[in-house]
Amino acid sequence: MLSFIMKVTKPHLKGDFVNARLLYHKTDWIRKCHCVKYCRNGYAPRNFYRNQTLSSKLSSVRERTRSIHDYRLQKIRDVKFREMYTYLILKKRRYKCTSCGKRFYERYPFLERYQRHTIRVLQALLIKVRTANFKEVAKELGLGHSTVIRWFDRYYTYENHSLPQILAIDEFKGTTEKGKYQCVIGDPRGFKVFDVIQDRKLSTLKDYFRSLPTHRVQMVVMDMWQPYKILAQQLFQNPIIIVDKFHYARHNFWALERVRKRVQKSFQDKDRKSMKKLRFLLHKPKEKLTTREQELLQYYLELSPDLKKAYQVKEVFKKWMTQSNERNVRLNLEQLYQAIDESGLDEYQYMKRTFKSWEKEIINSFIDPYTNGYLEGINNKMKVIKRMSYGIRNFQRLRNKVLCSLI
């Protein structure tokens, strides 16, 4: 049985190090090398068959040996001890196979082959790298930056072979060599991230989804990026396409802001500066306005007829968003179109054309209550991961970093 004693001495190396020595007391019976492999492949030394038959040599492979060839001291990195870097001085034994003469080192449960770091260091690295960047992990464990990256690339690899019944797809701005935007797909009902795709081009998305079981997908939740819609119509089997509410509701906000910026240029300096500071009154719910805020809002609406018309369209839009259901959503949407036409504002025409193009998908969002809210939150976490690492150029590394932090 293998036993050892750890002695901790005063730090004598540069920096806060602890010198720990492992002393082995008892010599174990060690299995011989796998020389049966050499016999079968014809690579055994010339004296391997001397004075013994092949069957006797093959049967002796499972025997044990005490034949020690020599010793070697090796300094091994371990996890911190009392917030100080720790080394283990290991006296390694090299054995000699009595059958083939091959020399081999003893194997240890706490040390992988050809490594100078204990398994505990590897375990600590794989845990810390989920929440910290590579540089911080390297400094914490006393390792090199390239060592941390090499171990991360080796042990964190993901492959996706499935898709959810309700698929949500969104993009985030990345810094990799693959492109400006990367896509993330997930399950908005089960709150699970499935994968990160290198870009949002239609050709890339088609190549990715062709290798997956797309027949399971029944609904697709997306923003108003046209390649997503084409992808769902061509690759999936008649799915229900749903547009995220946030992405079409902000068109009303943008149109109202464009009207405000245009009309306030004609105001006097005092009114223009005040209007810029109090623009939140236009977007605040009418029932939540105080008496003073109602007076200010009415004053600014009287200064510009166009601003008053835009505010009325905004109220019709709010009514459509809050009071519509699957029975009256189409009727209320027609009333919104009518209000836009009656206002005569060019800023709202782009919003109307967009709604006409995505009308079926927008109506589906009132029937099935699924949104991209979960993925939008994931996008924020991915931006934090990217910012902590000061950007990651390698896409596979960024993908694995995101998935190991979120899964």
DSSP for 146-210? HHHHHHHHHH---------SEEEEEEEE--STT-SEEEEEEETTTTEEEEEES---HHHHHHHHT
Share of the chain above pLDDT 70, in %: 84
Q: What average pLDDT does the chain have?
A: 83
pLDDT above 70 (res 3): no
pLDDT of residue 35: 55
Integer Rg of the chain from CA: 34
Return the pLDDT at 22: 44
- Residue ranges of the chain assigned to CATH 3.30.420.10: 166-244+371-385
pLDDT confidence band for 43 (50 / 70 / 90): very low
* 29 or 137: which leads in pLDDT: 137
The pLDDT tens digits for 151-206 are 999 999 899 999 999 999 999 888 788 888 899 999 999 999 999 999 999 999 99
The pLDDT of 236-258, averaged and rounded, is 93
User: pLDDT value at position 121?
Assistant: 92
Q: Is residue 241 within a helix (H) or strand (E), and if so which, with residue range?
A: strand 240-243
| Mean of pLDDT values over 63-71 | 78
The answer as to CATH 3.30.420.10 being correct for domain 166-244+371-385 is yes
Q: Give the contacts of 247 (CB within 8 A, at least 6 positions apart).
A: 223, 224, 372
Cβ–Cβ under 8 Å, residues 395 and 178:
yes
d(CA 185, CA 224): 15
Euclidean distance between CA atoms 198 and 101, whole angstroms: 52
Does pTM top 0.85 for this prediction? Answer: no
From CA 353, how far away is CA 347, in angstroms rounded? 11
pLDDT for 28 beyond 90? no
Highest mean pLDDT among 36-40, 44-48, 385-389: 385-389
Q: For residues 9 and 232, which has the higher predicted lDDT (pLDDT)? A: 232
What value does the mean pLDDT take over residues 235-251? 93
